[in-house]
């Protein structure tokens, strides 16, 4: 590497360590620390704001198998916001699996309306 490349690499390494340290301080299990660290490193995030940290905690707290699969196998497709919606707003794991399958078949952008329908269906069934 050239001197300039080495400097850029060193700067990036410092940012990655800062993100990893923030994730390590979250009240989540080691498995979730690993998952989120991998996501941040792959997506080359430079910062981890409070909203993202809160989303990570909410996702990890739910500990959904469907969300784990999306995060581990298809982390390129789904962001924290959608993972959090699936984790928190869908109360039933069967609904989370349906959302996961829809995302895998149709993509994350098209899944927004489908997830809204699943949430509404769950809310309706709880009221009835």
φ, ψ at 77 (rounded to 5°)? -90, -30
pLDDT above 90 covers what percent of the chain?
A: 80
In total, how many domains does the chain have? 1
In terms of pLDDT, which residue wins out, 27 or 74?
27
Q: What is the residue range of 73's domain?
A: 3-127
Are the beta carbons of 109 and 121 closer than 8 angstroms? Answer: no
Distance in angstroms (rounded) separating the CA atoms of residues 11 and 1: 14
Are the beta carbons of 108 and 79 closer than 8 angstroms? Answer: yes
In terms of pLDDT, which residue wins out, 126 or 9?
9
pLDDT of 126 reads 66
pLDDT digits (tens, 9 = 90+) for 15-66: 999 999 999 999 999 999 999 999 999 988 889 999 999 999 999 999 999 9
* pTM (predicted TM-score): 0.90
């Amino acid at each position: 590497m050239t001197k300039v490349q080495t400097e850029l690499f060193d700067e990036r390494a410092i940012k990655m360590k800062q993100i990893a340290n923030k994730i390590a301080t979250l009240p989540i299990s080691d498995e979730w620390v690993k998952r989120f660290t991998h996501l941040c490193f792959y997506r080359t995030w430079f910062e981890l704001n409070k909203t993202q940290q809160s989303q990570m905690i909410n996702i990890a707290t739910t500990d959904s198998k469907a969300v784990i699969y999306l995060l581990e196998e298809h982390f390129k497709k789904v962001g924290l916001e959608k993972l959090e919606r699936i984790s928190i707003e869908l109360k039933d794991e069967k609904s989370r699996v349906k959302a996961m399958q829809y995302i895998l078949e149709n993509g994350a952008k098209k899944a927004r309306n489908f997830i809204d329908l699943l949430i509404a269906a769950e809310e309706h069934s709880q009221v009835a």
